[in-house]
Amino acid sequence: MNREEFLALAQAAFENPEEADFVVLRQAYVESDIYEPTAHYSYHKLMGQTNSATSFEEVAQMCEHLLEANPMDLEVRMLLDYVYSQLEQHDLAAMHHAFVEGMLRAIFNSGDGRSIGSAWEVVAVAEEYTLLSVMGLRLQRQALVEEDGVFYDVLSVMPRTSDNEADILELYFDITAPFNYLRNNLL
């Protein structure tokens, strides 16, 4: 799928998220010319990028520019949800919120994340950290596992509010798409 076709599909999902199939959108992204999993922002990287802004309007403008390059970035859309709410542009905030919900639902519906056989499929490693944040978890350890040509990140996590080692659980993420991208384009 070329850039223009994918951007039109992403825009349609943004404008009408209730009708969008985010599983199809995510797969189209991986197969598109625009796919670049290393271009997704983590929360901290995004905060560093927007830290120089002096107003919510400026943050919105910066984030909208980032979305032009990567309309699938969860952290950018979550920040836009917040910023547009602060600017009382509730229609735009709601659209970004609904897009993020659709993306998260697609990830959560791909498995339960409790084993290799039910790993959550992500299109970028940054999505793993977004999910941890949304779920109120913090990372303890991370390991890369390969099984039958499929690559997984195994994250040992615990609730942010706990220091009890007994609360650690393992979450599995299928990172085959971003791993193959890196292998094919950077190595």
Q: What's the average model confidence in pLDDT over 14-22?
A: 95
Query: pLDDT by residue (tens digit) across 96-109?
Result: 999 999 999 999 99
Could you tell me the strand order of the sheet in which 120-121 lies? 120-121, 169-174, 150-159, 137-147
Helices vs. strands in the chain: H and E counts, helices first: 8, 4
Between the alpha carbon of residue 100 and those of residues 45, 93, 103, 158, the distances in Å are 18, 11, 5, 23
Query: pLDDT by residue (tens digit) across 162-175?
Result: 888 888 899 999 99
The reported pLDDT for the residue numbered 187 is: 62
Fold of the domain spanning 3-108: 1.25.40
Contact between 113 and 164 under an 8 Å Cβ cutoff? The reply is no
Query: pLDDT by residue (tens digit) across 124-153?
Result: 999 999 999 999 999 999 999 999 999 999
